[in-house]
Structure 1
């Protein structure tokens, strides 16, 4: 998990500790420095929007975000507010946003992004697209490929995004703002379909409300 403000108290307690053993004192000092750096990095990241799941209301703001060098990794959820599965996806993305400070997590209603919805071929909701350096490298369409259906676990979605380099595996030491490697020739072709491969398709379940075209 990313560092939190709770670690400020841990740093204070380590600084207040006394020890006559020089070896232990040196270890404690290194621990304090490491924790201080991690907490400072996490706080700085949060001032730039990392660690939160942010709603956007315009296509320009989405384009600016996904093409900014400040945010090389972005996860975008195209949604409709009255779709139950979109609400379920929101919960998972909110959890991942707090855990992965190396990426920005945002959502935008399809009615607020008609040009991008058409250009990206978004036809089934929820639709989550992972961008690296402005290039779509993974796409999750509905709940396809997410074992468990409506009850899928957050880790399943996380694994999909880590596997395509949109997110970094926890504990790898990647950190905020590290630019991931683009996968040549993918350009939005995830397990859930290609960049424009959703046009005219039907949702898997006959009674689900995710086919909104």
Structure 2
């Protein structure tokens, strides 16, 4: 036991030394900069901020930043083609659990402006629901570059509970790379409900294959 503690202490000490050396190197680099270097650094960062702001405005102009309902299948194809990342909630008004999903997606749409969040009534989209094999409501189709990359079907991936958190759904969307997730993909948020603890889940695609929205006039 003592030997293990000694090894751990040495590992921690080495890690701390490496971090300290990295910080010292960065500080040394800053100290060696003259006014011209600092000005160029400032301009570079300002340019990056301007670029990020421009990108955000472009996303907002395309309907990002809010959770919206679209009225038809035709609208779906148009929405998907103009945005890189899209989360589409296939819902039915009579299904209570769809309202639970609505609540979480409304929050995430404001947090993840890089992604478009929309919803479509399955009763108005018979072609799409057949094409994407949507059989369980609610189902979330996660699309990247016009192709379905993943699906969240019901609440199975969210702990099999109506009381899953927004953070849990955010993590699940992050597993599909459809949002910019800043947490640890390998570890879902911890949540316990009626004795059921959500544990580590492998990053995977629920349904095999992809669906290219460019082929909307063809059947497989």
Please indicate, yes or no, whether the TM-score normalized by the shorter chain is above 0.5.
yes
Q: Is 2:166 the partner of 1:143?
A: no
- Structure 1 residue 30: deviation in Å? 7.4
Q: Which runs of 5+ in 2 are unaligned?
A: 1-34, 184-203, 211-220
1:132 deviates by 1.1
Q: Which has the higher helix share?
A: 2
Counterpart CA distance in 1 for 2:79 and 2:58 is 17
CA deviation profile, 1:149-193 (whole Å, cap 9, x unmatched): 10101121111221122112249xxxxxxxxxxxxxxxxx833x4
Residue 42 of structure 1 corresponds to 56
CA RMSD across the alignment: 2.8
Q: Which residue of 1 aligns with 2:67?
A: 53
Structure 1 gaps, min length 5:
1-21, 172-188, 197-213
Deviation at 1:29, TM superposition (A): 7.7
Q: TM-score, normalised by structure 2?
A: 0.60
Deviation digits for residues 105-148 of structure 1 (CA, Å, limit 9, x no counterpart): 11000011011111111111000010112221111111111026
More RCO (CA 8 Å, sep 6+): 1
d(CA) in 2 for partners of 1:60, 1:165: 25
TM-score, structure 1 as length reference: 0.62
Q: Answer yes or no: is the 8 Å Cα contact 2:137–2:154 preserved in 1.
A: yes
2:104 pairs with one of 77, 84, 92: 92
Q: How many residues align?
A: 154
Runs (4 or more) in structure 1 with deviation over 4 Å come to 25-37, 193-196
